[in-house]
């Protein structure tokens, strides 16, 4: 990278931190800090939703999958977008009518205090682990750019994104995410995709040089595709980071339309990243003997001229930062709103609650960086996060919204049992086991339905 590329980074980072500083002045209430006064229009909400879920794992992870398995890597990001669209179309109405800020608040309305606490713990674990995936991805990119050790890169990158998040909360993120969405779209669709295809002689030439297995959308097998949808589609439907963005919409119609647009955008983005990975497979087959997590960065360094290189890496950093900041704020919101405020600091004024939320965000930022240094692998961290969330939360939320006879005791024990199943499955079969999440959901559903039925009968 040359001076012009580093200049792009400096200007970009300075702009984000400046917006965070302004956010301190603007976010003077907890409502503004957590959900930006619920006042976003269609374009801003679409940009924010897209930016928060298309992060480092979606960009680095999908290009890695494109390199390793070809077109079937498409299903990873696409399954996430489908979940956001389904949530917007079928669940949003019921949830927004309740005027809640967090998933745990919804669980409290449905099942009471114990389930609220359990839901808060599970959801905070999920959002923090998603944040960890982004810090790991950011560290991988920065270490490639500056040739720093991974630990140093994680410390520097994590600190930058967390500073503006802590300062301005959702008010800041609503501005920075739209900027990051635009930078990400230009960098990936207008620069990285055409330059990658040009480097291999065009799309037709790319397909001619790929093995047949890489040209099939079903190369990974039907079972693995189903696993993507169970893990990521169901998981994102109960993701606090996604809910919190939907709640910032000015109207339900704006929120629903944004969800549909996100689904369409996710399909396009997934195809772009898979093709970039496939181009790297043709140009640099030796990477498969090294760490394929660095496919995107290696490709960018090799094919992009100075100036464009800085823009593309800024786009990559934009994708990572937006998700890292959104998930960090979501985790802090859960802990502050559903654990500390109702059970520890019950009579707290709003300005005190705002200060406590900022402090919680700061503490969680430090924890996220520490975990990132320990885990170091993006796809492993995201598998753990979604297994915990989908296994523990999805069934109580969905069945609680549509089946009124689910009892609080059943919901509480179902969540505990399913989370235990997830951790046992991870310990025995590893975080990428397809069976773990199926067993957790099955256990969850069985306990919810059977225990509720017996309790209803004994009550009568």
Look at residue 184 and tell me whether its pLDDT is greater than 70: yes
Q: Is 237 exposed, middle or buried (0-12, 13-18, 19+ CB in 10 A)?
A: buried
The rounded distance, in Å, linking the Cα atoms of 293 and 296 is 8
Look at residue 186 and tell me whether its pLDDT is greater than 60: yes
362-372 tens-digit pLDDT: 999 999 888 88
Compute the mean pLDDT over every residue in the chain, rounded to the nearest whole number. 86
Torsions phi, psi of 406, nearest 5?
-70, 130
Residue with tokens 């040359």: 2
The residues pairing with 40 across neighbouring beta strands, listed in sequence order, are 249
Over pLDDT 90: what percentage of the chain? 35
Q: How many domains does the chain have?
A: 1
* pLDDT computed for residue 460 by the predictor: 63
Distances (CA, A) of 103 to 7, 98, 117, 210, 243: 41, 11, 11, 44, 8
268 located within any domain: yes
Binning pLDDT at 50, 70 and 90, where does residue 51 land?
A: confident
Look at residue 67 and tell me whether its pLDDT is greater than 90: yes
What is the DSSP annotation of 260-283?
HHHHHHHHHHHHHHHHHHHHHHHH
Residue with tokens 């709003």: 350
Among residues 64, 108, 142, the alpha carbon closest in space to that of 342 is found at 108
Binning pLDDT at 50, 70 and 90, where does residue 381 land?
A: low
Of 102-106, 158-162, 205-209, 455-459, which range is least confident?
455-459
Look at residue 326 and tell me whether its pLDDT is greater than 90: no
* pLDDT computed for residue 171 by the predictor: 75
**CB contact at 8 A, 187 and 316:** yes
* pLDDT computed for residue 151 by the predictor: 87
Q: For the chain, what is the radius of gyration of the CA atoms?
A: 21
395 located within any domain: no
429 located within any domain: no
Torsion of CA 443, 446, 448, 450, to 10 degrees: -150
414 located within any domain: no
The rounded distance, in Å, linking the Cα atoms of 101 and 83 is 19
Of 132-146, 320-334, 406-420, 442-456, which range is least confident?
132-146
416 located within any domain: no
Of 17-21, 108-112, 376-380, which range is least confident?
376-380
225-282 tens-digit pLDDT: 988 898 889 888 888 888 888 888 889 899 999 999 999 999 999 999 999 999 999 9
Average pLDDT rounded to a whole number, residues 290-303: 83
Range of the domain at 143: 3-385
3-class DSSP assignment, residue 249: strand
Find all residues with CB under 8 Å of 388, minimum gap 6, and list them. 122, 125, 126, 129, 419, 422
**CB contact at 8 A, 296 and 63:** yes
**CB contact at 8 A, 263 and 81:** yes
Q: Is 233 exposed, middle or buried (0-12, 13-18, 19+ CB in 10 A)?
A: buried
451 located within any domain: no
Look at residue 434 and tell me whether its pLDDT is greater than 80: no
Average pLDDT rounded to a whole number, residues 61-72: 92
Over pLDDT 70: what percentage of the chain? 95
Binning pLDDT at 50, 70 and 90, where does residue 216 land?
A: very high
User: What CATH code is carried by the domain that includes residue 23?
Assistant: 1.20.1730.10
Distances (CA, A) of 155 to 10, 163, 169, 289, 361: 17, 12, 21, 28, 16
Q: What is the DSSP letter of 40?
A: B
Q: Which DSSP helix (H) or strand (E) runs through 422?
A: helix 408-429
3-class DSSP assignment, residue 99: coil
* pLDDT computed for residue 375 by the predictor: 67
Binning pLDDT at 50, 70 and 90, where does residue 66 land?
A: very high
Tokens of 187: 């960098």
427 located within any domain: no
Look at residue 312 and tell me whether its pLDDT is greater than 70: yes
Find all residues with CB under 8 Å of 324, minimum gap 6, and list them. 55, 56, 131, 134, 135, 138, 158, 161, 162, 165, 368
Among residues 18, 137, 156, 123, the alpha carbon closest in space to that of 334 is found at 123
9 located within any domain: yes
Average pLDDT rounded to a whole number, residues 48-77: 87
Among residues 363, 306, 373, the alpha carbon closest in space to that of 143 is found at 373
């Amino acid at each position: 990278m040359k001076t012009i590329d580093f200049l792009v980074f400096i200007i970009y980072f300075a702009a984000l931190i400046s917006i965070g500083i302004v956010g301190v002045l603007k976010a003077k209430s907890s409502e503004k800090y957590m959900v930006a006064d619920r006042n976003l229009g269609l374009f801003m909400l679409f940009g924010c939703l897209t930016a928060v879920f298309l992060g480092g794992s979606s960009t680095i992870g999908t290009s890695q999958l494109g390199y390793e398995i070809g077109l079937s890597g498409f299903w990873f990001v696409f399954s996430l977008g489908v979940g956001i669209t389904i949530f917007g179309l079928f669940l949003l109405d019921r949830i927004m009518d309740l005027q809640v800020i967090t998933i745990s608040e919804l669980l409290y309305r449905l099942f009471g205090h114990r389930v609220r606490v359990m839901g808060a713990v599970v959801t905070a674990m999920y959002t923090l682990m998603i944040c960890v995936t982004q810090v790991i991805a950011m560290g991988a990119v920065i270490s490639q750019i500056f040739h720093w050790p991974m630990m140093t890169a994680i410390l520097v990158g994590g600190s930058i994104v967390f500073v503006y998040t802590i300062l301005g909360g959702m008010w800041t993120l609503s501005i920075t995410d739209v900027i990051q969405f635009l930078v990400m779209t230009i960098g990936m669709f207008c620069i990285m995709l055409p330059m990658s295809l040009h480097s291999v002689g065009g799309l037709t030439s790319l397909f001619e040089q790929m093995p047949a297995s890489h040209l099939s959308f079903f190369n990974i097998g039907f079972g693995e595709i189903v696993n993507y949808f169970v893990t990521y589609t169901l998981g994102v439907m109960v993701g606090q980071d996604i809910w919190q963005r939907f709640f910032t919409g000015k109207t339900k119609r704006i929120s629903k339309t944004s969800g549909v647009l996100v689904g369409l955008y996710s399909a396009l983005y997934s195809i772009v990243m898979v093709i970039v990975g496939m181009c790297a497979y043709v140009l640099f087959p030796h990477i498969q003997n090294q760490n394929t997590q660095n496919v995107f960065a290696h490709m960018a360094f090799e094919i992009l001229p100075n100036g464009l290189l800085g823009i593309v890496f800024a786009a990559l950093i934009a994708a990572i930062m937006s998700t890292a900041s959104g998930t960090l704020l979501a985790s802090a919101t859960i802990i502050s709103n559903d654990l500390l405020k109702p059970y520890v600091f019950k009579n707290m004024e709003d300005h005190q609650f705002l200060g406590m939320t900022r402090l919680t965000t700061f503490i969680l930022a430090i924890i996220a960086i520490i975990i990132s240094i320990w885990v170091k692998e993006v796809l492993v961290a995201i598998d753990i996060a979604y297994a915990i969330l989908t296994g523990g939360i999805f069934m109580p939320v969905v069945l609680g919204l549509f089946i009124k006879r689910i009892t609080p005791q059943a919901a509480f024990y179902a969540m505990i049992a399913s989370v235990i199943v997830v951790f046992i499955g991870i310990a025995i079969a590893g975080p990428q086991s397809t069976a773990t999440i199926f067993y957790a959901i099955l256990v969850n559903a069985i306990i919810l339905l059977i225990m509720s039925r017996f309790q209803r009968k004994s009550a009568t």
